[in-house]
Chains A and B, each alone.
Chain A
Amino acid sequence: MKRSLMKIYFTVAAVLYAVMILMGIFEYIPPNFYRVHQMNFPQLQPPSLEHLLGTDYYKHDIFSEFIYGAKSTFYSGILAAIPFTLLGILLGIAASYYENRFSYYADRFLEVLNAFPKFIVLLIFIALFGNHVFLLMMIFGIFSSPKLAELIKGRVLALKKEMFIDSSIALGLPHWAIIFRHILWNNSRSIILGQFFFIYSAAVLIEASLSYVNLGFSQTSVSWGYMLYEARYASGRTLFAAPWNLGSFHIKAFVSIMGLTLLTLSMFYLSRYYRQKALELRGIRE
């Protein structure tokens, strides 16, 4: 796809996603300000002006569920991405900038964190502490942070040999300024942004998987994963068998699949774009 077309697509998608998140956060779901826990709608209604995407077998308004699902993806993505970014940067710097005993132990700590399979750790935490999704997503972010830390570490080790770092030290610049301004902001921000989008999409998928097995946001709010689970177990017909006869469950499955796929694909392409930008900065063209 051409770059201009990509830009238009990403701008439209970002605006739509932001509008949906805001609608979910402020509980403003037109046309009649539906709330997701309202279950007194007529069952299995087709799309109409009253219910934009119809209602399902459980008497939910599908459009409201879709909007609340978007809000859940935003919470899960952000909750995982913040500890991931902070801890990843800190551990990456700690393991590489100063070559001392502390950096050795920080490096070993990275290896230990990296060895844990994340999904299994999440399952153990669910069994022991209950499925508080806020806690789970933060745990996921923390256990994924070695991925960013390794990239930052490699970048720091390469940049430390450069002349501009030596001259900054000789000029008397404080170490924090060298780390945050010269290394992180000027030379590693594309890596950090790319990894931010990567972990956002990974967290959305992990949350959808947990909700699919009824261990995620599905217990407190609505999730696209849980919508797909409901659509699977209540639908007798297929999406492609009779496209002219669109029942509500077809729409429910369709919107949750489209939402999950488009969101994660967009995040994946954004992460690749920033990775290419980081490589271009080093003079490597893929």
Chain B
Amino acid sequence: MKRFLEHLFYFVGLLIVQLVLIAGVEYVLFLVAPGVKQKLLLSMGAPEKSNYAYWDYLVTFKDWFGRIFTRGDLGRLMSTGDPIRNFVFDTILVTIKLVVVALFICLVLSIVIIYLKKSFPNSRLVKGFVFSMQFLSSIHYIVLGYLVIVELKMSQFPVFSYLILAVGNGMLNDMVELIENELDGILNSPYYRAALARGGKLWRNILPPLGITLARIFNSKLPMLLGGSFIVEYVMNLHGIGVFTIQYGVRGTDYNLLLIYSLFVTLVIVFSNLMANSLQKYLDPRPEKVF
């Protein structure tokens, strides 16, 4: 229990430190952009002044981050004056649902393809299926979206959004290749053969190393999926955080919304990074290297 609490404390602390650091770098990037400084500070709740001192920038960032962290107050849109909290959580849920379901579909499809390739290596039917999936996966989201909406006229079925994100832009190809390589590595490793020779269970010896690998693969594919989810939202007319941000943050002047969007993306990526590391600690029985 004590070890678990220590790990949890370390996990949350590291998450907050990384978030503050990356949000700080993004804040500085926003400040150095020409013509943005004044609008950014006002949108983040700073008092209106003709000239800001260096101290004001720091205080504004601290107050803005503190309000988000302690009260969940995300501020207001500059353009309409509406509180961002009212609609941002719904849009974030749409995006998270899209990414998680797409990741799950991609994993299931990859396992099916790898199973078929391993079980029926000489079947022409399987080869044709695998080739057609590889070809489909090489096509970009916007083309797949066009085919679904205009050619198939099936924009009302949400499953196509998940399928496009799971398959398109080489996602499925990458996933199949990575999992297959790792699985081959495990199946050919000496420890696995030794475990089999001693009468060990097949899944007990494969699952922990495969779990570490899957966590690492998910972690590496998450930024691509988050970027892709924005395009799929736009193509399939979903009201996710990406479309919402482009409407107000990129085309409008609601820079605080853009900062919140990048904070959300950073949070997801940092969280998945830390989760992958923690999972490795729990699943890998070998002792950690001490430098």
B contacts with A, residue count (CB < 8 A):
42
Interface residues of A, Cβ cutoff 8 Å to B = 115-120, 123-124, 126-129, 205, 208-209, 212-213, 215, 225, 228-229, 231-232, 235, 238-240, 253, 257, 260-261, 264-265, 268
CB contact under 8 A between A208 and B245, given known A117-B227, A124-B26, A126-B250: no
Q: Which residues of B (167-187) have their CB < 8 Å from a CB of A? A: 169-170
B143 within 8 A of A: yes
A225 near B33: Cβ-Cβ < 8 Å: no
B284 CB, nearest partner CB in chain A, Å? 21
B28 CB, nearest partner CB in chain A, Å? 12
B278 within 8 A of A: no
A238 near B169: Cβ-Cβ < 8 Å: no
Interface bits B230-273 vs A (CB < 8 Å: 1, else 0): 11001100000000011001100001001001100100010001
B234 near A261: Cβ-Cβ < 8 Å: no
B36 within 8 A of A: yes
CB contact under 8 A between A119 and B230, given known A240-B151, A264-B140: yes
A118 CB, nearest partner CB in chain B, Å? 6
15 A-B pairs whose Cβ atoms sit less than 8 Å apart in the complex: A119-B231, A123-B250, A123-B258, A128-B33, A205-B140, A208-B140, A228-B146, A231-B146, A232-B149, A235-B150, A253-B146, A257-B146, A261-B139, A261-B140, A264-B138
A120 CB, nearest partner CB in chain B, Å? 5
Question: A116 to chain B: which residues have CB within 8 Å?
Answer: 223
Question: B151 to chain A: which residues have CB within 8 Å?
Answer: 238-240
Given contacts A124-B26, A232-B146, 7 further A-B contacts (CB under 8 A): A116-B223, A117-B226, A120-B226, A123-B246, A228-B143, A260-B142, A265-B135
Question: B261 to chain A: which residues have CB within 8 Å?
Answer: 120
CB contact under 8 A between A232 and B150, given known A124-B258, A128-B30: yes
A160 CB, nearest partner CB in chain B, Å? 20
Question: B153 to chain A: which residues have CB within 8 Å?
Answer: 238
A253 near B150: Cβ-Cβ < 8 Å: yes
B269 near A117: Cβ-Cβ < 8 Å: yes
Interface bits B5-49 vs A (CB < 8 Å: 1, else 0): 000000000000000001000100110011010000000000000
**Measured between alpha carbons, how far is A101 from B146 in the docked complex, in Å?**
51
Question: B65 to chain A: which residues have CB within 8 Å?
Answer: none
Tell me if B's interface is mostly helix, strand, loop or mixed. Answer: helix
5 smallest beta-carbon distances between A and B, as pairs: A119-B227, A128-B33, A117-B223, A127-B250, A238-B151
Residue of A whose beta carbon sits closest to that of B231: A209
CB contact under 8 A between A118 and B223, given known A124-B26, A127-B249, A213-B234: yes
A108 CB, nearest partner CB in chain B, Å? 13
B162 within 8 A of A: no
B64 within 8 A of A: no
Interface bits B145-156 vs A (CB < 8 Å: 1, else 0): 011011101000
Query: Could you say which of B142, B226, B246 contacts A208, with CB atoms under 8 Å apart?
Result: B142
Question: A127 to chain B: which residues have CB within 8 Å?
Answer: 249-250, 255, 258
**Measured between alpha carbons, how far is A261 from B142 in the docked complex, in Å?**
11
A117 near B265: Cβ-Cβ < 8 Å: yes
B174 CB, nearest partner CB in chain A, Å? 11
Question: A129 to chain B: which residues have CB within 8 Å?
Answer: 33-34
Residue of A whose beta carbon sits closest to that of B149: A232
A215 near B146: Cβ-Cβ < 8 Å: no
**Measured between alpha carbons, how far is A240 from B147 in the docked complex, in Å?**
10
Question: B141 to chain A: which residues have CB within 8 Å?
Answer: 209
A257 near B143: Cβ-Cβ < 8 Å: yes
Residue of B whose beta carbon sits closest to that of A212: B142
Residue of B whose beta carbon sits closest to that of A116: B223
Residue of B whose beta carbon sits closest to that of A268: B138
Question: A232 to chain B: which residues have CB within 8 Å?
Answer: 146, 149-150
Question: B255 to chain A: which residues have CB within 8 Å?
Answer: 127
B227 near A118: Cβ-Cβ < 8 Å: yes
**Measured between alpha carbons, how far is A239 from B36 in the docked complex, in Å?**
45
Question: B140 to chain A: which residues have CB within 8 Å?
Answer: 205, 208-209, 260-261, 264
**Measured between alpha carbons, how far is A123 from B262 in the docked complex, in Å?**
10
Question: B249 to chain A: which residues have CB within 8 Å?
Answer: 123, 127
A282 CB, nearest partner CB in chain B, Å? 15
